[in-house]
A and B are shown apart, each in its own frame.
Chain A
């Protein structure tokens, strides 16, 4: 089968070739995605193997009996499943949160404040003569992003690597930095200050900038400001180096302001390098269903958005949920210790194709089919372009969509009493 869509990272490469159990053309992460690995063998309750129906019954009981369950994950599943997840959360008056809350959600907050001068990966490939990776390391996190869209991609107007200038701003000399034309090394936590310095230089206030800002010499800041001003079509692609360090959403707001300033004289866009293949869907689907992207509380029967209260890490830290449904995610491995603690104390339902650290503490485990390999569905690429995920092999496992539809049915039955 050709044009197989990869369901690992946010680049969602759609040119894989699948033949006799082997995937071709994808990167190391994509190849690992398609490689055979240990699966959760069967649905389980308290470590005992049960049928799908029994596990779903138990899961529904836990959700209905909880006062305020947390339904978290959603970044590695299809839009069809996420849609049901939002409906389910509303039905059980729970909290909907998704992986972006520990990933790119500060960017969402910045967009609420400042808007998003954006563009698609196609526009970057065809037009961008300058690409700035800010706190992003695609050579390790999105290995084919550079070849397909942003570094050596052969575009309509920008024909190859020679016509495209690559700048990396980072605290580490990453693999991406080693391939850049200009590497700007910032001290950890000083991105905001460096962006402000660039805005000052571009605004004509060179005198206001000290000799060094956040570990970067003024000379280099002027060099970067010149590159930015002289670009015909520039793109700032930012990563978790910005969203997870000091300043978070405020740093991204500042970067958007920098882009707005540049857009007075030339054309620039800014875009997040989204991580999981459908983390965009985990935000877009609830946004078109109930108006918000993450940290949504339904305990009053209507949706409320407040990251300070309803983001999963905050909810768990203050022990404000009495059950959790974790789908397509592994918070036990990826949340700070202080948040994991509460997950050990409440009943956890897990829906996932693979055993992981959350499996180790889950009361109910429901194995699922892998989207893009064993199940069809729709996902949003990192630039919000929807792509159809293909099914390349048959499986005995149920899809997330089917599992959630059955849980929803059971919950409605139990609620009717």
Chain B
């Protein structure tokens, strides 16, 4: 298990599929987490592996990817998977904390839920 701070945000793939949320393309565009090379290595991950991301606000299973990130920083595309774990507190602004949420990440054999299953689980 590793500890990271998650930031979420737009990607080209997410943007290009955002009007087709019930398709496989959108699912692929949003159901992953990017980890730094060090963190990816520490979990002994390889292409296609899944991880469980846990925060104080929820947990979600997603695919793991390696990316050019500093150790301890992880990135998730904006969308239902990221929103299962981000901090809903708005500090009085109305804006939840979508970026900078502490999380624990571990390798898992559990499957990645579809967007429909994800909604049912809420």
Contact = CB atoms under 8 A, between A and B. Distances in A.
Contacts of A355: 21-22
Nearest to A308: B92
B73 A171 contact: yes
Interface of B: 5, 7-12, 15-17, 19-23, 57-58, 68-70, 73, 75, 78-80, 83-84, 86-88, 90-100, 115-116, 119, 122
B57 to A, nearest CB: 7
B59 to A, nearest CB: 10
A336 interface: yes
Given A37-B19, A246-B97, A333-B83, A172 B69 contact: yes
Interface string A291-308: 000110000000000011
Interface residues of A, number: 63
A306 to B, nearest CB: 9
Q: State the main secondary structure of chain B at its contact with A.
A: loop
A189 B90 contact: no
A102 B7 contact: no
Contacts, number: 166
Given A28-B12, A245-B97, A248-B93, A332 B19 contact: no
A240 B98 contact: yes
A140 B11 contact: yes
Contacts of B116: 360
A37 B25 CA distance: 12
Given A172-B75, A333-B83, A357-B80, A38 B22 contact: yes
B61 to A, nearest CB: 14
B119 A357 contact: yes
A224 interface: no
A401 B100 CA distance: 39
A313 interface: yes
A338 interface: yes
B111 to A, nearest CB: 19
A313 B88 contact: yes
Contacts of B57: 336-338
B93 to A, nearest CB: 5
A332 B86 contact: no
Contact of B95 (A244, A354, A356, A361): A244
B107 to A, nearest CB: 23
